[in-house]
Structure 1
Amino acid sequence: MEYQNLITIEPGKRSGKPCIRGMRITVYDILEYLAGGMTETEILEDFSELTVADIKACLQFAADREKKLFIVAL
């Protein structure tokens, strides 16, 4: 999945944190909901403007960031 079109970073929005499609919902928000036990379905019910692709993009973004941290550490 290519998350680059779904995850945006704007300096004036949410202090420059990665957000979903320019909205004020951050990647961190979604990851925190998932880590807290919410299902994709529950997140989508609570945030009708989100899609399954948005949630997958957050996971891919986080995986990419983790991979980059690992590579830098080497």
Structure 2
Amino acid sequence: MRITVAFVLKASQLSVQDILASYPELEEEDIRQALEYAACVLSERTFSITSA
């Protein structure tokens, strides 16, 4: 079974322990790598934020 980075990020409101309990095929390192990958991808983008 493949679990995408997007799926891990969407589950990030849960604790690492909760994610691992729900998806035993994942390891803590998988979660860390998914977060690191997402941070790397986003660091390459620039976002404009306008004031309300």
**Shorter-normalised TM range:** 0.7 to 0.9
Query: Unpaired segments of 5 or more residues in structure 2?
Result: 47-52
TM-score normalised by length of structure 2 = 0.80
TM-score normalised by length of structure 1 = 0.58
Q: Which has the larger radius of gyration?
A: 2
Greater per-residue strand proportion: 1
Aligned pairs, number: 46
Percent same amino acid among aligned pairs?
Answer: 33
Greater per-residue helix proportion: 2
Determine which structure has greater relative contact order: mean sequence separation of CA pairs < 8 Å that are 6+ residues apart, divided by chain length: 2
Aligned structure 1 segments of 4 or more residues deviating by more than 4 angstroms: none
Query: Unpaired segments of 5 or more residues in structure 1?
Result: 1-22
